[in-house]
Every structure is written in structure tokens, then in C-alpha cells.
Amino acid sequence: MPNPLRPYRSRLRRLLGQPDPDFLAGALESWEEAPGGVVHIRPALSLPGQVERIRSSVFATLADTVNALTLEGDVREGPTLGWRFRNVDLVDGVLYRDGAELHLRSRRNRLGLAFRPRQTASGALYESWNTNRWFGSWLMDALVAWPLAERTGEPLTTAPPPPVGGHAARYEELLGVDPMRMPAAVHFDDLIVFSDLANNPDKWRRQHELRSKLLAGRNPEPVPGVFLIRGTGGDLRLLKNERELAERLATERGFRILDPLSASVDELIEACGAARAIVGVEGSQLVHGMIVAPPDAAILPIQPPDRVAATLKQLSDRLGQRYGLLVAEGNDTVFTLDWRDLAATLDLFD
């Protein structure tokens, strides 16, 4: 039965300085949803001195990020895991179980105590805090985890219905994603959650299946490349000479320029589905192009020196694409890139 005291008990435990219990430790059962395995990784292509420009990283330590970008060879990846729980409450984006918590999204109410479960449900979640925080993570991880929930139980999500006509709604339509959407507070009689972080062969397979579904019935025109504008959308990462670089690529190399904020999902798929290169500031907007670009396409995120990430490298590995490391000059929010660095890095893929 729902227990309205669970959020209060968790808050009290933190106030008393008590350690956080492991949410996963209380699972009724656990299993390998997909086995681990060996995958072959190709290193990022880069000009001399690019690694040395990196001053800081996100999502991993600097050493681990550099290793992920430069690693070459066979790598053993872990399995995709599943856990089943009984008697779990969802309250304002947080799962509560016997004093343990699992955060799925930022709370709407900072105290986290404004909602009481009045509805019951059972099923499988295919989301995580990252996929609810960043649209690019939703595109490259939640949609790839959807088949896990679909075949294991009733697929559930805490996300509200996406705006009609928006990107998320169209992706869900194309991929047949139709979950049961949870209210702010709900009691789960039976709940399944997954860990799909490992970049194992099954995740590679599901990523290729997603690409095939998005391209089904289409015949995109081959183009030298697509520059996906970031502008000031999302978290601020402003490439001051972004428009200049994009226009030079269009004039001198035959690239198409698209702004995902004004382009439809279908326009993005048609433009990027046979592109030989996807270029733009590192961020969610690049994922639109990457998830449909062909194997061996050049993936070239322009990264600020104080915010380098290897997340998109994992996606390019899954799709057999070639990844380039290109670090701009500036800080984590405002930076510039020399045209000569961009052009010379693209030449590495010829």
C-alpha cells in the first residue's frame, strides 16, 4: 500500500546524517537482460595538440574522458541489468523504497513532500535522471532502452505527454513508443528498472534497429555533410563564430546548414540520413543527426575546453561512425574555433 511517510523519513535520515541505503539492494529479483561482450573501439581522430587543450571534463574524470576519446582496440563491456521491486512509491520524480531513494528527475517541489500516491500501477521504467534532464540523452538512451521495457512489462514513464507537433512526439510516433504516463505520485505494486549504461553488443544492436526504423521508407540524398546549429538553445554553449564556420562549410565544402529548433524531425532525418559528416557544437542537437547518419560518417562535435565530454563518442561507436576530437578556445560557455582547425580535422577523415 502507498506510504505517505516515506519522503519524510528519507528527509529525516539525511538531517540526522545517516547513510543512504542502496535502492537496488532491496530488489525482489535481478537478472541480466542482455549479456556483456567485447566490442571494438576506434580512437577519435584529431590534430596534434587537441588533447592538450582540454582543461576540464563533464560526466567523468578528465583522465577517464581522455581515455574514452583516445582508446583503441577490443573492450569488454558489462551486461544490461534488470531489477524487480515490490511496494515502491513515486513522489515528485523520486522512487522511495524502505528508506532508499532513486531520483528520476528534478523535483517540482523542492521539499519533495507535496504529493501523496493515490493511484497504483505496475510495469517497467525505461528512463533515468540523465534521459529526463537532457533531450540528447533521451534520444540516444531512453529510446534505445524502450524495447527493454516493452518486452519485459508494461512500459512506464514519468515524463508528461510531449507537445503535439514537437520533436519528441514525432520520434515517439515513428518508433511506436507509447508508454503509460505516470502522475506526480503513484504507488507501484510491481516495478522493473534497468541499468543500460554498458555499451555492450545488445545496445549496439538496438541502436542500429532504431536507425533502421527512422529511415524506413526513406531515401535520403547523399551530402558531404550537415552543420547542426546550436545557437543559444539549451544550456549555454556559445560558439561565437558558429554562423561563420557553418557558412564556410556550406560554400567551400557543400554542407547543408540546419537549425534543429526550426527544422522538423522528418527534415532532420532526410538531411542527415546519408550525410558523410555531422558537425556542430557538442550537445543534444547533434544527436538528431548522429542517430540516422550512416556507418563511417564523420562525427565532429566542437567542444569547449572546460566542458569536454565523451558521451557522443559512445553513440558513434555503437553506429560504426568515425568520431573527431575538436577543442575550441575560450571557456565552458563562450568560445571560438579557428576555421583552419575545423577544415584540417575534417580532412583527417578523407
**Predicted pLDDT at 114:** 55
pLDDT along the chain (350 residues), means of 10: 55 60 94 98 98 96 97 98 96 91 85 70 97 97 98 92 96 98 94 97 98 98 98 91 98 98 98 98 97 98 97 98 98 97 97
Cα dihedral 199/200/203/205 (nearest 10): 130
Q: Where in the sequence of the chain do the CATH 3.40.50 domains occur?
A: 41-76+219-347
Structure confidence at residue 99 (pLDDT): 85
Query: Are the beta carbons of 266 and 276 closer than 8 angstroms?
Result: no
Task: Report pLDDT for 116.
Answer: 76
Rounded (5°) CA angle 5-7-9: 65
* 321 φ, ψ (degrees, to nearest 5): -90, 165
pLDDT of residue 115: 66
Virtual CA dihedral for 48, 52, 54, 56, nearest 10 degrees?
160
Which CATH code of 3.30.460, 3.40.50, 3.30.70, 2.60.40 fits the domain covering 41-76+219-347?
3.40.50
DSSP code, position 8: H
What is the per-residue pLDDT for 153? 78
The model's pTM is: 0.93
* Sign of the dihedral through C-alpha 22, 25, 31, 36: positive
